[in-house]
Chain A
Amino acid sequence: MSVLAALDIGLALLVFAVAAWTVFAPGAFAATVGYVVYGLLLSLVWIRLFAVDVALTEAAIGGGVTGVLLIGAAARLRQAEMTTVGEAPSGVTRLFAACLCVLVAAALAGVVLLLPDQGPTLAPQAMERLPETGLGNPVTAVLIAYRSFDTVLEKVVLVLAVVGVWSLAADRYWGGAPGEARAERPEPTLAFFAQMLAPIGIVVGVHIFWVGADEPGGAFQGGAILAAMWIILMMARLTEAPQTNAFWLRLALIAGPAVFLAAGVAGVAVAGGFFAYPSGLAKPIILFIEAFMVLSIAVTLPMLVAGPPRREPRR
């Protein structure tokens, strides 16, 4: 057995073990920490699957930002855990659930094993039409050109998520800011770490977005890194979350989907159909759209992590 195969099997077992820890660990906080580790291990799996764009996204959003969200929640819900001790389901329920889950997993595994080695694929068609878009990264082409309708509507989903999270505020806090106010004297370690990391992160994030046209990377990955930097600054209390009724915030949140929608509609006049790109101009338009997507993602993800407004609006 080659070294790589042994590593693969080791990685697979480790991923499963950490996932099992996440489900069976006694405390929610421990389970959540396990989940963050799990996210990072998963990115390694994605690299072994030769899907580097996905690995970047999983590391940044799946493990990173989701991890922050869940750890913050676990810390605040510590008290709630103690009241649920008596609510654990009966042994019968557990047995039934276990049987069902083993059945589902086995059926799925069986179908996975039956997949042919050379499955049906759209890779040739994707590569064939790649030169029209001017891009070098086929995954970016799929996201912004071939299946752009998926992406633009997924950006709208993000806006709806913000509306949904904000809607949970009490009426008197509506329009105010989420999270905590900026601290007079932020904690030194956290502040040092944030101040050192943020500039590097911003450069890396912009670079990953820019290079995503031709190499692995893109708007989601770059935007997520920028979002992470802002989250770090907010966690270190060097800056505070903006007021939710701020016009610039709302504009930034909708800029991505709005520009994408506008470009899609403009395609009717310029290229003969919704979400079509005129030949020759495709790459600049795509980068233009992606730039606004990066802005929106960099603003949306921290606002989703910050939660509903908790302070009264000024003014």
Chain B
Amino acid sequence: MTSGTLAGLVGAALVGLGLYGVIVDPQALRKILAFNLIGSGVFLVFGIVARKGAAAGLQSDPIPQAMVITGIVVAFAASALAVALTLRLFEETGRASLRADGGAKPGGDGAGPE
């Protein structure tokens, strides 16, 4: 088993782990952490794809590498926005969690996580 395949399998496991964290944990910050795990798992799948594309004197296909770099930057920006929203929500309400069921009551005025 090459390092590439190993990385790909770890990536698959991370996607599953991260998805579990997103669904199950009500705290927004833990969800953001879990999203970052999913993201890094996806990038590792790109990684194995790049490694399998070694050719022309390169050890790794540069196209997926560039995509991962772009993805890492975008993931950071998303985390920053999510963290800012979470902190502001905490300042306003004293709570920082989103319930899994959506929290919007049908007959109500669409109030948040109550």
A and B touch in the complex (CB under 8 A): yes
Measured CB to CB, the residues of A under 8 A from B are 4-5, 8-9, 12, 15-16, 19-20, 22-23, 28, 31-32, 35, 38-39, 42, 45-46, 48-51, 53-54, 57-58, 61-62, 65-66, 69-70, 73-74, 76-77, 79-81, 83-84, 87-89, 93-94, 97-98, 100-102, 104-106, 108-109, 112-113, 115-124, 126-128, 138-139, 141-143, 146-147, 150-151, 154, 157-158, 161, 164-165, 168, 218, 220, 301, 304-305, 307-308
Sample of 21 A–B contacts (CB below 8 Å): A12-B6, A28-B33, A42-B44, A49-B48, A51-B68, A54-B43, A57-B73, A70-B29, A73-B29, A73-B87, A80-B95, A88-B26, A98-B20, A112-B11, A113-B9, A123-B63, A141-B62, A147-B63, A161-B78, A218-B69, A308-B88
In the bound complex, residues from chain B placing their C-beta under 8 Å from that of A127 are 56-58
Mask for B1-26, Cβ within 8 A of A = 1, else 0?
Answer: 10111111111111111111101111
A142 CA / B68 CA spacing, docked (Å): 12
- Contact call A101/B69, Cβ cutoff below 8 A: no
- Contact call A123/B19, Cβ cutoff below 8 A: no
Given contacts A61-B73, A108-B15, contact A50 B51 (CB under 8 A): yes
In the bound complex, residues from chain B placing their C-beta under 8 Å from that of A20 are 17
- Contact call A22/B16, Cβ cutoff below 8 A: no
- Contact call A104/B15, Cβ cutoff below 8 A: yes
- A81 smallest CB distance to B (angstroms): 7
Given contacts A84-B26, A101-B19, A112-B11, contact A142 B63 (CB under 8 A): yes
Measured CB to CB, the residues of B under 8 A from A are 1, 3-21, 23-27, 29-30, 32-34, 36-37, 40, 43-45, 47-63, 65-70, 72-81, 83-88, 90, 94-97, 99-100
Tell me if B's interface is mostly helix, strand, loop or mixed.
helix
Quick one: which of A23, A51, A62, A123 contacts B20, CB cutoff 8 A? A23
In the bound complex, residues from chain A placing their C-beta under 8 Å from that of B87 are 73, 76-77, 307
